[in-house]
Amino acid sequence: MKSEHLDDPFVVAAAGLDALQGLLGYRFRDPALLQLALTHPSVAHEQNMAVQTNQRLEFLGDAVLQLVLTSELYERFPAFGEGPLTKARAKLVNRRTLAEHARALGLGWHLIVSKGEEKHGGRERPSALADTFEALLGAIFLDGGFGEARDFILRLFHGAFGGLSVIPVLENPKGELQELLQSFSSEAPHYRVVSATGPDHDRVFACTVHHAGVELGSGEGKSKKAAESEAALAALTKLRSSQKLQGDREEFRMMNDETRRKPE
């Protein structure tokens, strides 16, 4: 792939690209792809000519990132449905997070921008950094294939996956719990406040959630609503862990049955 000709003020020195590849932990077979990923759209606008920028690579990189993280979430959280998985993915790929990854890699220092964009601090603008990060992923995908892109993404997002708790963060755990219970029962869960301690200005409420006469979970919070949400979250974790265990046991039983049926 040939690089578009850029005037000297816009070109990143080969040494700069070499140092960046060391930081990335990935060496491009075609360095022109890396330079293209670093070329901000402002370059084309200021030169007033047809210059390739990183916008197409950004489009491609966004798709690669979504696929890798969606697949990883699907594998890591087998007991969770579409709603929680979608929320967890959104947490991982919000623009601020992508800009932080770009900043950590030093992409801003290597970004090829116009003189005007440089003057107005565009090199460190979060939106530009997030776009460049996605463009970089697109460039790695084209240069090394899906496997290389996947390894690069998972290496960077390893800590973020560790930051996700056993259950992805939920906006409405009480609603999620009710939806789960209604999948096999018409009875709704009900909540009980079991204690309220502390002075009036700093109360702590303890709450339990019950279904069909069974306590499913408990939680504490600075308000009854917060305590109920914590109880619902605890119940969801317990129920989904139980569902996964039952599924694993059923799979094991079926494998044993299949083994017994095989002729010796």
For the chain, what is the domain count? Answer: 2
Maximum pairwise Cα distance, the chain: 78
The residues annotated as belonging to the active site are 62, 134
Regarding whether 179 and 115 lie in a shared domain, the answer is no
27-78 per-position pLDDT tens digit: 999 999 999 999 998 888 766 667 889 999 999 999 999 999 999 999 888 7
Whole-number percent of the chain with pLDDT over 90? 41
Domain stop point among 113, 133, 163: 163
Regarding whether 131 and 12 lie in a shared domain, the answer is yes
What does the CA dihedral 154, 157, 160, 166 come to, rounded to 10 degrees? -10
Residues 166-175: what's their mean pLDDT? 67
Distance between CA atoms of residues 58 and 15, nearest Å: 24
Lowest average pLDDT, out of 7-21, 122-136, 231-245, goes to 7-21
Evaluate if residue 93 carries a pLDDT over 50: yes
Domain enclosing residue 148, as ranges: 8-163
Regarding whether 240 and 150 lie in a shared domain, the answer is no
